[in-house]
Amino acid sequence: MLDIKFVRDNPDIVRENIKKKYQDGKLALVDEVLELDAKNRAAIREASDLRASRNSLSKQIGMLMAQARKDPSKAEEAEKVKEQVRRNAERLTELEKLEEEYAEKIRRIMLLIPNIIDSSVPIGPDDSANVEVERFGEPVVPDFPIPYHTEIMESFNGVDMDAAGRVSGNGFYYLMGDIARLHSAVLAYARDFMIGKGFIYCVPPFMIHSNVVEGVMSQSEMDAMMYKIEGEDLYLIGTSEHSMIGKFIDQIIPEDSLPQTLTSYSPCFRKEKGAHGIEERGVYRIHQFEKQEMIVVCKPEDSMAWYEKMWRFSVELFRSMEIPVRQLECCSGDLADLKVKSCDIEAWSPRQQKYFEVCSCSNLGDAQARRLKMRVRGEDGKMYLPHTLNNTVVAPPRMLIAFLENHLQADGSVTIPEVLRPYMGGIEVLIPKK
């Protein structure tokens, strides 16, 4: 969400940014919000003048009433001034209602105008224009066939999609045995990995109010992702970033407490509307999963440095588990409206012989802070908006797909890298049950 003053002073920049994001349908919003802003400011000025006039006229009435004791004609003048005060009061009431209406209309439009993207973001209409920046680790294609990930899991009696379908429908799963243990081990390792990076561990609320939802994401994202609790002002979180950033709603943050670096565990719930390709069956794209997340709230001048650190944490984590990855820079058309800059970390799939997304790192500038009314009090006492960032640490079971494919052996066993063994009771190799 942009500052209306920025839009007022830089309408051409805002329009060009909308074009870069291939959202030309929103161009008319700029003129619409500027017109409303002009009307609102005119109403504010008129109301301010009427309030000033009210004080002056009140003094005038008192003076005329005092003079009326000697000169009765002054009483008539006083009544005329009183009538003017009454008319002004009525007009002031109208203007105050108009101000509220204009402010709400402006706010609603501003929620739709996308944030200004960073100058380094590649321009393109959709994810097909995303740009590979760097690879980490050598992608390997073994000389034996790799089954689909649910088949690997089934060989360990580790997944039951049929039972989940009977209980909850499509898009759910039961993880069991060694696979369920591996799932928990990865989350525990990711938690300790981030604590080792100086982040504070947190388990947040898994439901949030609608004003927090509106503060952390765009309307289109909300419609596509969020499950609402019927009859209550509560939504199930799609990622713990939502409640972690929401933690700071309406708060004044002391500058000396920045940066706030938090890592959080949560289940995540997503509608995942629309049809997806065959490679997204199984546990790739599901309605419920668990995730370790990282968020940072920092000074504006520090946010790009944190962005670099955060995506590199993901690379380091996956490489420590011996999984090849690459960084993919998201293009303008693939950025959600609140994002200034974003990249994906993609893991190598030996079966598909291509990379797929396992982490997403984003710098949202001050957009979430403005929506949530988060402020920082500087050393000079002045207030400013912090920047917010988020990144996936790890999100099994999707991450398990990359893990199982990259650690599968020709005999069907799966090796456990050294960093995970303490969380797996020292087990070095998983042996299939069938």
Our CA dihedral for 182, 323, 197, 343, rounded to 10 degrees, sits at -120
Residue 300 is part of a domain; what is its CATH number?
3.30.930.10
pLDDT the model gives residue 68: 62
Looking at the fold, whether 25 and 95 belong to one and the same domain comes out as yes
List the structure tokens of 193: 């990995």
Taking CA atoms, 212 is separated from 2, 205, 295, 343, 360, in Å, by 17, 12, 16, 24, 21
Looking at the fold, whether 14 and 148 belong to one and the same domain comes out as no
Looking at the fold, whether 105 and 137 belong to one and the same domain comes out as no
pLDDT the model gives residue 127: 94
Q: Which of 185, 401, 184, 209 is nearest to 286 (CA)?
A: 401
pLDDT the model gives residue 67: 65
Please report the DSSP string for 117-182 in residue order: PPTTSPP-SSGGG-EEEEEES-----SS----HHHHHHHTT-EEHHHHHHHT-TT--EE-HHHHHH
Number of H helices, E strands in the chain: 13, 18
Q: Residue 379 falls within a domain, yes or no?
A: yes
Q: Residue 321 falls within a domain, yes or no?
A: yes
Instruction: Write b or e for each residue in 89-109: b if 16 or more Cβ atoms lie within 10 A of its Cβ, otherwise e.
Output: eeebeebeebbeebbebbeeb
Q: Which of 49, 77, 110 is the last residue of a domain?
A: 110
Question: What's the structural domain count of the chain?
Answer: 2
Q: Residue 293 falls within a domain, yes or no?
A: yes
pLDDT the model gives residue 275: 42
User: Which phi and psi (to 5°) does residue 367 adopt?
Assistant: -60, -50
Looking at the fold, whether 95 and 184 belong to one and the same domain comes out as no
Q: Residue 34 falls within a domain, yes or no?
A: yes
Looking at the fold, whether 175 and 63 belong to one and the same domain comes out as no
Instruction: Assess contact for 399 and 239: CB atoms under 8 A.
Output: no
Instruction: Assess contact for 323 and 331: CB atoms under 8 A.
Output: no
Rounded to 5 degrees, what angle do the CA atoms 322, 324, 330 make?
140
Looking at the fold, whether 162 and 58 belong to one and the same domain comes out as no
List the structure tokens of 89: 């009061």
List the structure tokens of 176: 């069991």
Looking at the fold, whether 98 and 188 belong to one and the same domain comes out as no
Instruction: Write b or e for each residue in 235-271: b if 16 or more Cβ atoms lie within 10 A of its Cβ, otherwise e.
Output: bbbbbbbbbbbbbbbeeebeeeebbbbbbbbbebbbe
Q: Residue 119 falls within a domain, yes or no?
A: no
Q: Which of 434, 346, 359, 422 is nearest to 181 (CA)?
A: 422
User: Which distant-in-sequence residues (6+ apart) come within 8 Å of 185 by Cβ?
Assistant: 420, 423, 424
pLDDT the model gives residue 283: 87
Q: Residue 140 falls within a domain, yes or no?
A: yes
Looking at the fold, whether 213 and 337 belong to one and the same domain comes out as yes
Looking at the fold, whether 14 and 42 belong to one and the same domain comes out as yes
Q: Residue 121 falls within a domain, yes or no?
A: no
Looking at the fold, whether 81 and 19 belong to one and the same domain comes out as yes
Q: Which of 243, 215, 209 is nearest to 374 (CA)?
A: 215
Instruction: Assess contact for 401 and 277: CB atoms under 8 A.
Output: no
Looking at the fold, whether 105 and 134 belong to one and the same domain comes out as no
List the structure tokens of 3: 């500052």
Question: Dmax of the chain from CA atoms?
Answer: 114
Q: What is the mean pLDDT of each run of 10 residues along the chain (434 residues)?
A: 95 98 97 97 92 71 61 66 77 93 96 97 96 97 95 96 92 95 97 98 97 91 88 95 96 96 96 56 86 98 98 98 98 96 98 96 97 95 96 93 97 98 97 90
Q: Which of 64, 79, 110 is the last residue of a domain?
A: 110
Exposed (0-12), middle (13-18) or buried (19+): which is 209, by Cβ within 10 Å? middle
pLDDT the model gives residue 277: 44
Q: Where are the beta strands (DSSP E) in 205-340?
A: 207-208, 227-228, 235-236, 252-254, 260-269, 288-298, 325-329
pLDDT the model gives residue 55: 64
Instruction: Write b or e for each residue in 174-202: b if 16 or more Cβ atoms lie within 10 A of its Cβ, otherwise e.
Output: ebbebbbbbbebbbbbbbbbbeebebeeb
Residue 64 is part of a domain; what is its CATH number?
1.10.287.40
User: Distance between CA atoms of 153 and 151, rounded to whole angstroms?
Assistant: 5
Q: Which of 78, 110, 142 is the last residue of a domain?
A: 110
Domain that holds residue 369: 127-430
Looking at the fold, whether 263 and 312 belong to one and the same domain comes out as yes
The alpha-helical segments, DSSP class H, found in 206-360 are 210-216, 219-225, 240-246, 303-320
pLDDT the model gives residue 278: 37
Q: Residue 94 falls within a domain, yes or no?
A: yes
